[in-house]
């Protein structure tokens, strides 16, 4: 293993305090990335590397003056570059089922999704599932890696009595998903409020797969929640099948506590023709 003098490490960490030029940032980022690959590297190296990376990303995309959200923005880019996608992920995810063929008797009336409709979810319907996967019955859950927990949250909520929480005390990536029936070609506009408590370089974000799949890596992701306050996340597009899938995801990059909270979801569907509504997901709890 290559040895790096302590004075060099001090210079690299100190460069974060000044952040004078893009050249300094680039050199610090590369050197810290090299350090992070060594076994037993101090956690401060990972934390500082994440912040340097965040500031570089912010300067390149939004300007030269950092704001409170810069750490979260950079952590997303850091995660996309550094975190491998496991295969397979979530092998037992349920898939949308077509409507049953009516028999000879009188069929049960099927609800209709109108050409323009609004669907809401305030997470007040109760929570069901195993001890560590207590979720709203209209949703399924997935775990990419780590051992997070899913719980109904009564203390940190935006409205009503409950919100949904995804949390962990070590690195994880996990979330909730829900199928929503639409007509192909319709436009959708999804809104949800998210709240983030993190010491582990975490994030809370909203994604939508316009094709209705169950792989979160195929989703289109919007911005992330900021720290310590409820932020409205939005995501819009055009459906490419008769379902869209909504993902609410939490992630922690380091071995520290991260809690992601979600509340007050709204989905507006516009255009297209009315279609028969199908069940979104089973109501037997989360995906192992």
Contact by Cβ (8 Å): 187, 117: no
The most confident of the ranges 55-64, 99-108, 137-146, 267-276 is 137-146
**pLDDT of res. 25:** 57
- Whether the model pTM is above 0.85: no
Sorted by where each starts, the structural domains of the chain and their CATH numbers stand as 6-82 (no CATH), 112-276 (2.60.120.260)
145-181 pLDDT, tens digit per residue, is 998 988 777 666 666 677 888 888 888 999 999 999 9
Close Cβ partners of 41 (under 8 Å, ≥ 6 residues apart): 35
What is the percent of the chain with per-residue pLDDT over 70, rounded to a whole number? 45
Q: Please name the residues in contact with 122: beta carbons below 8 A apart, sequence gap of 6 or more.
A: 159, 160, 263, 264, 265
Tokens of residue 212, six digits: 């209705």
pLDDT digit string, tens, across residues 72-116: 333 333 334 333 443 333 433 444 433 333 333 444 444 445 556
Give the dihedral of Cα atoms 46, 52, 55, 56; nearest 10 deg.
Answer: -120
């Amino acid at each position: 293993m290559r040895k790096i003098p302590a004075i060099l490490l001090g210079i690299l960490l100190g460069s974060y305090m000044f952040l004078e030029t893009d050249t300094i940032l680039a050199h610090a980022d590369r050197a810290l990335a090299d350090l992070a690959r060594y076994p037993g590297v101090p956690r401060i190296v990972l934390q500082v590397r994440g912040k340097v990376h965040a500031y570089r990303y912010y300067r390149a995309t939004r300007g030269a003056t950092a704001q409170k959200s810069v750490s979260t923005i950079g952590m997303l880019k850091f995660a996309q570059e550094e975190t491998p996608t496991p295969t397979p992920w979530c092998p037992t995810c349920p898939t949308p089922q077509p409507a049953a063929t009516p028999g000879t008797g009188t069929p049960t009336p099927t609800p209709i999704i109108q050409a323009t409709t609004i669907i809401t979810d305030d997470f007040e319907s109760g929570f069901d599932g195993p001890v560590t996967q207590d979720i709203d019955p209209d949703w399924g859950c997935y775990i990419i890696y780590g051992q997070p927990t899913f719980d109904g949250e009564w203390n940190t909520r935006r409205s009503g009595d409950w919100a949904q929480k995804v949390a962990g005390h070590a690195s994880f990536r996990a979330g909730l998903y829900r199928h929503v029936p639409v007509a192909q070609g319709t436009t959708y506009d999804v809104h949800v409020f998210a709240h983030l408590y993190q010491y582990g370089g975490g994030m809370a974000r909203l994604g939508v797969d316009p094709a209705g799949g169950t792989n979160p890596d195929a989703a289109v992701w919007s911005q992330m929640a900021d720290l310590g306050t409820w932020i409205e996340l939005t995501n819009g597009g055009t459906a490419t099948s008769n379902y869209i899938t909504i993902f609410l995801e939490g992630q922690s990059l380091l071995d520290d506590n991260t809690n992601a909270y979600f509340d007050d979801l709204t989905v507006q569907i516009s255009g297209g023709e009315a279609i028969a509504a199908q069940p979104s997901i089973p109501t037997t709890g989360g995906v192992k």
